[in-house]
Amino acid sequence: MITFTQQQSKIPKLMRPVYIITAGVSKFDRAFPDKRTEEICIDAFTMASDMLDMEPAELKGYIHTCYYGHFADHFGDQLLGEAVIHDRLGLDPLGNIGVKTGGATGGSTLWEAVKAVASGYSDCTLAMGWERMDEVPTDEGNFLISCAADKDWESPLGHIYTGYYAVMAQKYWQVFGKEEDSFRRTMAEISVKHHNYARFNPYAQGPMKITIDDVLKSPVVAYPLRALDACLMSVGAACAIICDEETAIKLTQKSKNKPLRIWVAAGSHTLRPADRRDMEIPLLPNETAEQYKDFGKRFPGGERYPGFTGFLAARISAWYGYRMTGITNPMEDLDVVELHDAFTISDIQTYEDIGLRPYGYGRDYVESGDCYHINPKTGKPGRLPSNLSGGLIGCMHAVGATGIMQVFEIACHLWNRWAEMHGDEKYWKRCKRTKPDDWTNLQVKDAKRAMAISHAGVGSHVTATILMDADSLLKKDA
10 binds another protein (CB under 8 A): no
* DSSP helix/strand/coil, 52: coil
Q: Which stretch binds another protein (CB under 8 A): 110-118, 152-160, 385-393, 467-475?
A: 152-160
Q: How far is the CB of 139 from another protein (least distance, A)?
A: 4
Give Cβ neighbours of residue 5 (< 8 Å, ≥ 6 apart): none
Concatenating the DSSP letter of every residue in 22-44 gives EEEE---BS--TT--HHHHHHHH
Contact residues for 468 (Cβ-Cβ < 8 A; gap 6+): 260, 261, 325, 414, 448, 449, 450, 474
- Residue 39 in contact with another protein, rule: CB under 8 A: no
Q: Does residue 169 bind another protein (CB under 8 A)? A: yes
Please list every residue from 107 through 146 that binds another protein, using CB under 8 A: 137, 139-146
For residue 43, the minimal CB distance to another protein (Å) is 18
Total residues in contact with another protein, by rule CB under 8 A: 50
Q: Report the residue number, 73 or 367, with the smaller CB distance to another protein.
A: 73
Residues from 54 through 83 that contact another protein (CB under 8 A): 77
Q: Write down the least CB distance from residue 228 to another protein, Å.
A: 14
Q: Does residue 264 contact residue 114 with C-beta atoms inside 8 Å?
A: yes
The site string for another protein over 193-222 (x = CB under 8 A, - otherwise) reads --------------------------xxxx
User: Measured from the CB atom, is 15 or 80 closer to another protein?
Assistant: 80
Q: Which of 338, 317, 417, 434 is nearest to 384 (CA)?
A: 338
Per the DSSP assignment, residues forming a β-bridge with 103 are 101
Instruction: State how far the Cα of 242 lies from the Cα of 127, in Å rounded to an integer.
Output: 8
Stretch that binds another protein, among 52-60, 164-172, 347-355, 393-401 (CB under 8 A): 164-172
Stretch that binds another protein, among 149-157, 190-198, 207-215, 397-405 (CB under 8 A): 149-157
- Closest CB to another protein among residues 148, 248: 148
415-434 CB burial, b ≥16 within 10 A, e <16: bbbbeebbbeeebbeebebe
The count of other CB atoms within 10 Å of the CB of residue 66 is 26
3-state class (DSSP) for residue 453:
strand
Distance, CA of 306 to CA of 463 (rounded, Å): 17
Q: Which is nearer to another protein, 56 or 141 (CB)?
A: 141
- List of residues 6+ apart from 180 with CB closer than 8 A: none
Give me the least distance between CB of 52 and another protein, in Å please. Answer: 34
The footprint of another protein (CB under 8 A) covers 1, 33-34, 77, 137, 139-146, 150-154, 156-160, 162-164, 166-171, 174, 219-225, 272-278, 301, 307-308
